[in-house]
A and B are shown apart, each in its own frame.
Chain A
Amino acid sequence: MARAIVVRWDGGESAFGFTKVEREKLYGKKARVVVDETGSECQAAWLTPDGAVLVPMGGTAHVWMDERWDARDSADRVAVDASNQPLGVVPSTLGVAQDLVEVDVQRVLDHVTVNLYELSLDTVSPVLEAALRAGRIFELPFNYRDGHEPESMFLLSNDDGFFALVGRATQFEMVARDAALDDADGPDELEGDLDFSMM
């Protein structure tokens, strides 16, 4: 049985089923297809820098290596923070009741949406359902699977149904007049944002 998003609010527990909302499911997609002179579809492959080896897609494997070029199993590694302190594993929140906190619109705007889920009301308390229908927004911690960086999930509704937005905090700050000279060395998120799907 599929795991559910389970929440606790106003003394009651509710469970939502969820389905990922993606552009392809809503709009279809626009793909690039490469054909040869006879019109036959070509397959992508990698040519090594020395031109010696042609590697088909799927012909590579990702392996954890140390500085001496010794391979390590995934179980032999541990995540650390900037000060080399081991990071604890945050278990998946699916199937585990999470406390809801009511938030305002600005809180949602302070997060960039990384995943969108359509919700089905499996066993939802009438009080929570009514609150969502009334336009109230709730936040809960969310981890799809065990991990180190928990995300925030926002529950809301619109005329089409009930939805959950998984968000990552943007951490934008107010700027003052003298802030213009600050350097910004971060990556440009839009640089590799190639997209050939439909608008």
Chain B
Amino acid sequence: MPRLLSITDEKKRDAQIELRTAAKTEQLRWVDRQGGAPLKLERLVKTTEKTSYDALSRAFTTPDALSQALVDGDPEIDIEQVGRRLGQASRVWVGASGQIVYAARVLSVVTDPNGVEKSRGDFVDVEATIGEDLPPIAWSGRLMPASQVIRRFALVRKLQLRHVNGLTFDFLLDIARSLQKEQKMLVVGAGPRGQQPLVFHTNGAPFRGFLEGRVDGDRYLLVLHLSNLEIKRVTASAAPDAGGSS
């Protein structure tokens, strides 16, 4: 389903346009090698809370007792449930005793790249910063050469901006023409000055955006490239003496 959002051009005019995600490549299907019958990957129950390792450890108190029970029988198999389709199961939280927790508290725990905890506090929802009912994306005016963008940021999502009527066709064609003329990409962000990350829905991933425009006669292509990852080394070894390729 296309999304709608508003965007501002360099003349500070805004218009509501539509966003589309990239088309998926044709999906392959799996069939039975012999008969050609279609196959489906199903998620089945393997272990229940009553037969999990934790539950068995509690029931048999010592490792030796558990080992003996496993030798003598099949306490780890719930014969009534194993192989059952999980279906539209609900996500719940269980405490140390294996019981469902009804008064759970959600925390946000931040760790650094080495896995060391930096902070811990109540989880706070991150609201969307752009959307159909939110203010238009501002024209930041900050332009970056595409050759620099692709070397600094991994562009992990792409959205195509499309018009919804004749007026917005002219509006987007002008933006694409302007960006193509500059041979640069527009840095796109949320907020009045375009400096906040783009968050498309509550608790969604925050992205930085780069708008690319191409024109071919009376046709245009406007793509919003999204990134949440910089192109940087992660290994501890010294960086090679890479020359200027920015």
Contact = CB atoms under 8 A, between A and B. Distances in A.
Nearest to B210: A109
Contacts of A65: 39-42
Contacts of B1: 184-185, 188
Given A66-B38, A161-B240, A174 B216 contact: yes
B229 to A, nearest CB: 6
Given A177-B169, A190-B21, A55 B157 contact: no
Interface stretch (A1-9, A71-79, A94-102, A138-146): A71-79
B45 A158 contact: no
A165 B162 CA distance: 27
B86 interface: yes
A194 to B, nearest CB: 5
Interface residues of A, number: 108
B59 to A, nearest CB: 15
B46 interface: yes
B113 A26 contact: yes
Interface string B117-140: 010100100000000000000000
B108 A32 contact: yes
Given A55-B48, A174-B219, A79 B29 contact: yes
A172 B22 CA distance: 7
Interface in B15-36: 20-26, 28-34, 36
Interface in A126-147: 132-135, 137
Contacts, number: 355
A78 B242 contact: no
Nearest to B24: A186
A149 to B, nearest CB: 7
B20 A46 contact: no
Contacts of B42: 62-65
Interface in A174-199: 174-177, 179-180, 184-191, 193-199
A145 B228 CA distance: 26
Contacts of A66: 32, 37-40
Contact of A76 (B32, B156, B165): B32
A79 B28 contact: yes
Nearest to A189: B21
A28 B20 contact: no
B110 A174 contact: no
Nearest to B45: A55
Given A48-B87, A149-B28, A180-B162, 17 more contacts: A21-B154, A28-B111, A33-B106, A33-B120, A36-B105, A45-B91, A61-B46, A65-B41, A67-B37, A80-B29, A105-B146, A105-B150, A109-B223, A114-B156, A158-B246, A193-B205, A194-B204
Q: Which 8 A-B pairs have the closest CB atoms?
A: A195-B205, A46-B89, A54-B49, A59-B47, A174-B219, A135-B245, A133-B243, A170-B22
13 contacts: A20-B234, A22-B234, A37-B105, A47-B91, A66-B37, A172-B160, A175-B220, A180-B162, A185-B1, A187-B24, A196-B203, A197-B205, A199-B228
